[in-house]
Amino acid sequence: MRIIRNCNTCEFNFNQICAGHGDILSYGDAIPEELDNNVICTGWGVSFEYYDSLIEKVPWYIQKNYSYMDQSIDYDEFIRRIDADEKGLGIDVNLYDAIEHVYGLKIFELAEILDVSIGVIMYARRRGTVSKRVIEFSPKLCIPPKFFGKFLSTDLSELEQCCKEFYGVKQIQDVPHK
C-alpha cells in the first residue's frame, strides 16, 4: 500500500482550497480534482478522512498493532510502517498474530495443539517465547526456531509454507491407524 501525499489527501485541503504552504500550490489556490498520485507535496499532512481510510486499508499485520484497546496509535510509527512495507522492507510482526492469521487458529485452539494453557500463549505473545517452549512449539507448528526470535512481514510467505506443511502433517497424524 502506498500513501498518496498530495493536496487531495492533505489536512490543509479546505473544500478544495489549499490552506498550506507546500511546493505544489500556494495558499488559497484551488485544488484541481485530478492530481497525479505520484506528485508529493513537501507541506503535506494527512487529513483525518484519509488517515481513517489508511487504518482500514493497511495490511492486517500493520492494522493489528492499532486494534487492541491497550495500544496507542503513534501516527509517525504508523506512517513509517506503511512506507517500509511499500518498499518491501520487513517490519516487525508478532509471530502469534501471524500464526493466528495464516494458520486460521484461535488462541485456545493454538494452546490445545501446543498442549499448553492459554496463559502460556499469552505470555509468549506479549513477552516472547522462552527457549524451552521454542524447542516444543517449533516442530509442532512446523515453524523454524528463528521465527520465535524475530518475525518480519517479509517472512509471511515462508510462514504460509510452514502452514501447508503443518496441515499436511496434521492430516496424516489424524488418520486412524488400522
Q: Is the pLDDT of residue 51 over 70?
A: yes
Residue 175's pLDDT band (boundaries 50, 70, 90)? very low
Q: Is the pLDDT of residue 116 over 60?
A: yes
pLDDT at residue number 88: 93
Find the mean pLDDT for residues 107-115.
94
Residue 177's pLDDT band (boundaries 50, 70, 90)? very low
User: What number of other Cβ atoms are within 10 A of residue 106's Cβ?
Assistant: 10
**Joined grid coordinates for residue 65:** 498493532
**Joined grid coordinates for residue 171:** 492430516
What's the CA gap between 21 and 38, in Å, rounded?
Answer: 19
List the domains of the chain with CATH numbers.
7-86 (no CATH), 95-174 (1.10.260)
pTM equals 0.77
